[in-house]
Structure 1
């Protein structure tokens, strides 16, 4: 994504980001309820996809769900539908407070990244001041390490009266550096004349649970392109070995294919989560993956070259053994 602010004003594509603070101890009930919601929304015209992001910290218990539609009209039909209202009434006791949502009309598809969604209540008559202030914020963000892009979304008439900005960084560490920076604090103070309040939500990385290098939840995770390369490095040989051994044995024993595949997936996830990722990949590639290690373009290229070389070795090995 280019590092520029795109103002979503009804272009192709529409997204709603809903943040829901679940009552402690009701997480399983919430997930079952959310599955019913996901099943219902699939029947609506223009629906394109959904993602559910659990809280990073258990004490937070803030769940974020994203629904994507082909355009704002079809998204609006879902938001105003009787079916959605019925589901919200059913799940009302699952939440500590009223869920909040931001509607994003237009804009670019989200890349794999750590994302912050910030909604602003702009003071009446200060809309242009707010836009100019956001442009200043963007110019400052571009100077911060790991910044990947930003989009500014105007209110959607009849659905939402807040302005929403979405910005992405390549790691949680870099996102937190921006959010906690002194320069951002000064910018917020400057912008207070144009907006009355704002609310920040973070959407986590897809693979973050497999990358821990000490320091707890705030230690950060590697950029997502490194995570994807590393997971593939561990996943490919795991799946191949299981196919050649466990899958073959299950087939000979007459186990149904769907059950054999399930058993293989359970084993591969377990092997990755408790053995290969923490004990092999994270340790072997710590110089390249660990967020607290010094980073340089040379280090990034060297680590990527090592992973690519490992891919090549694995392909050669399995070409003669499979």
Structure 2
């Protein structure tokens, strides 16, 4: 079961910004009082084309659903309806590794200091371009989280309509200027496995990162991991009297554990777009990422070939 599950709910609202935010704080307070709650945000309300929305985050999916289905939230929503705040769609569920609701595209943005206004203007521009596409249901922009990343969500009726928008010339044109407002390129929130395979849905079918990309990234992490364990963990195991058969087994346990939970997720992060089977499918992106990894191969090979202290075969001399 995924951790850190988010629920984002969009609302129709006849009232003003201040009135909606006042009621939205009640909804956030209801979530905050529930077990497992970790944070909550009210969507940016800078233009009528952007949806008014409330986002809450829970540690576990079960706890989130307990609050979503609870009487306390139902009562807050009822009071909101009396004030003219009605849900405009079902709850959008989002895990840290990708949307759990079909037809939703989610994107992280590290906005430059002082670039918030221009970033919001670009999001409005994207929302207006998307509004002309079949199946479009709305755009939500959430303010920066504790990591300093804003989140935008675009909602379509079906996954196929979302993918058509993602590949459209209208989106490409509307994206012009967005990257200038960011500290780094935006990234799609998608399901990337610990061993560098991103899973997406396109036209009702599952698509995954090409095997050659996953293999290149795994090798980039595996080689220095094995070299360092051989240099530093190997002598410790030898000193404890472990035979080569046991030492290699323990070393493999350590390497697989480190790669599964720490090293591969960290290495995959800067290559998220390259690994994406849809956003990274272009020849230019694929070739560019491959060149970067080959350069990193050369750097690691040079490092272990020239730094005597890292050469496990020579550590005793």
TM-score of Structure 1 vs Structure 2, range by shorter chain? 0.3 to 0.5
TM-score when normalising by structure 1? 0.37
Give the structure with higher Rg (CA): 2
